[in-house]
Amino acid sequence: MFFRKIINELELWGKDKERKPLILRGARQVGKTTAVEIFSKKFDQYVYLNLETRKDADLFNHQLPIDDLIQAILLHKNIVSTSGKFLLFIDEIQNSPSAVAMMRYFYESAKSFHVIAAGSLLETLMSKDQISFPVGRVQYMFMYPLTFEEFLIATGKDQAAELLRQVPMPTFAFSNMMEYFHKYTLIGGMPEVIKKYSEKENILDLVPVYQGLITSYLDDVNKYARNRAMMEVISYAIETAPFEAGKRIKFKGFGSSNYRSREVGEALRTLERAMLLYLLYPTTATKPPARPDKKKSPRLQFLDTGLINYIAGLQDHYFKAQTLHSFYQGLVAEHIVGQELIAMDMNTSRKISFWVREKRQSTAEVDFIVPYGRYLIPVEVKAGKTGTLRSLHQFVEKADHSYAIRLYAGPLEKVRAATPKGKPFTLLSLPYFLSGKIVKYIEWMIEEKE
């Protein structure tokens, strides 16, 4: 069992006297059930219901009043007393619309109970209106593959994880941290993969794990799709998305197919609801709010960089790389940064965005935009230690502030720079592995200057 940062969020939720039943959302096999099991150690009583099993699901089929339902659950699990702190975890809740409907009554009439629900296909069924959680009566949290910090802890690098939390991070840790991040980018953040890797540190042993994950996602397609034709399109999208990850895409002819825009759009949005991928839309804003422009082409972000490396056959590049930064060419570096940025916010489903200026004579694109208070901070990802910052400069010239960040394969540096038109700004250069701590470094950069 790996420690996950979401457990800290669960503890805050558990202490809230006004808490609502919690709906834990995330793709299959990102560790939702395990995280709740770790959290359950804080409780005197813990009841786990899996609604894929008929006996557990039957508890909700009789439309019992909430008090009677609680008694039925206690009897079913042979629990005599509910004294002390009590946690009820309802897994695979999508199998019972009646259980979903009962969430409001746990909130209204059984507040002494801590109730968490989760489900592997929850997002897709919610979108089809097959289930509907009571508005205002539940709270949501979102779970993703392991972050780099969680990877360090899971692989026994606790000291490195502690150094990663320091702002600024000590310079002596740079080389080791790049090596660890290199491995993290190679294998990704899926819990089963990291568990297997931590046992032997053998990449070849991970092949059946990766294949098992992809097979399980393909096996779920009949649950996602509304008909047989869409099953084919969604299957194709799952198999093709890793090759298109990190790129701006067109729906029509996606992945060199003959599929129409409407079919591909439906397939990709279905997989986005299942949290297997994300469609990141650009913005033209240089100050909040950064409204995404859905008329423009989105950039595709896949669930996990390690899965991309496996499916797209990129793992050999890891072994051939002479230096760490030579491995992070182009899209891989950008994708792992996106994965880290997405995982920073576990309490909302708000997606990250990127900035574009699209004109006939001149186009510009900044890889990511990070909201911070009254600012939108531009973030550019560079494959090596060098590279032009033309798009970053164009953003800074239009923005009402003078801050920018470069993520690259070099050490932490903060310098005063100027755009080609002469506007001075602070450029904070961070090594890739600090991308998950970017908000803390923005705070450090701005507070130190102001």
Tokens 């002390």 found at: 84
pLDDT of residue 129: 57
d(CA 116, CA 73): 15
Decide: 413 and 429 in contact? Cβ < 8 Å. Answer: yes
Strand pairing report for 353-358 and 363-372: antiparallel
pLDDT of residue 223: 81
pLDDT above 50 (res 324): no
Residues linked to residue 377 through DSSP beta bridges, in sequence order: 370
Q: What is the pLDDT of residues 295-305, one digit of tens each?
A: 999 999 999 99
d(CA 82, CA 93): 23
User: What predicted TM-score, i.e. pTM, was given to this entire model?
Assistant: 0.93
Lowest-pLDDT choice from 4-8, 201-205, 216-220, 380-384: 380-384
Q: Which residue has the higher pLDDT, 430 or 348?
A: 430
Mean pLDDT of 351-371: 89
d(CA 115, CA 106): 8
Lowest-pLDDT choice from 151-155, 190-194, 208-212, 346-350: 346-350
| Percent of the chain's residues with pLDDT above 70 | 92
Q: Which residue has the higher pLDDT, 321 or 209?
A: 209
Q: Which residue has the higher pLDDT, 128 or 336?
A: 336
pLDDT band with cut points at 50, 70 and 90 for residue 309: very high
Half-sphere exposure (Cβ direction) of 24: Cα atoms closer than 13 Å: 28
pLDDT band with cut points at 50, 70 and 90 for residue 48: very high
Task: Please give the mean pLDDT across all residues of the chain.
Answer: 91
Helix (H, G, I), strand (E, B) or coil at 354: strand
Burial letters for 183-196: b for 16+ Cβ neighbours within 10 Å, e otherwise? ebbbbbbbbebbbb
Phi and psi at 438, nearest 5°, equal -60, -35
Domains of the chain: 6-143 (3.40.50.300), 148-342 (no CATH), 353-449 (no CATH)
Mean pLDDT of 204-219: 95
Q: How many residues does the chain have?
A: 450
Q: What is the pLDDT of residues 108-164, one digit of tens each?
A: 999 899 999 998 777 666 666 566 777 889 999 999 999 999 999 999 999 999 999
pLDDT above 70 (res 328): no
pLDDT of residue 387: 62
pLDDT above 60 (res 385): no
pLDDT above 70 (res 386): no
* DSSP H/E element including 196: helix 191-200
d(CA 89, CA 36): 8
In Å, how far are 111, 323, 379, 405, 437 from 430, measured between CA atoms? 45, 18, 10, 7, 10
| Percent of the chain's residues with pLDDT above 90 | 78
The angle subtended at Cα 417 by Cα 361 and Cα 292, nearest 5°, is: 50
Decide: 300 and 262 in contact? Cβ < 8 Å. Answer: no
Mean pLDDT of 338-345: 96
pLDDT of residue 126: 64
pLDDT of residue 125: 64
Q: Which residue has the higher pLDDT, 166 or 386?
A: 166
Mean pLDDT of 173-202: 94
pLDDT of residue 87: 97
Mean pLDDT of 82-105: 91
Q: What is the pLDDT of residues 230-285, one digit of tens each?
A: 999 999 999 999 999 999 999 999 999 999 999 999 999 999 988 999 999 999 99
Q: What is the pLDDT of residues 402-446, one digit of tens each?
A: 999 999 989 999 999 999 999 999 999 999 999 999 999 999 999
Neighbour count for residue 99 (Cβ, 10 Å): 23
pLDDT above 90 (res 322): no
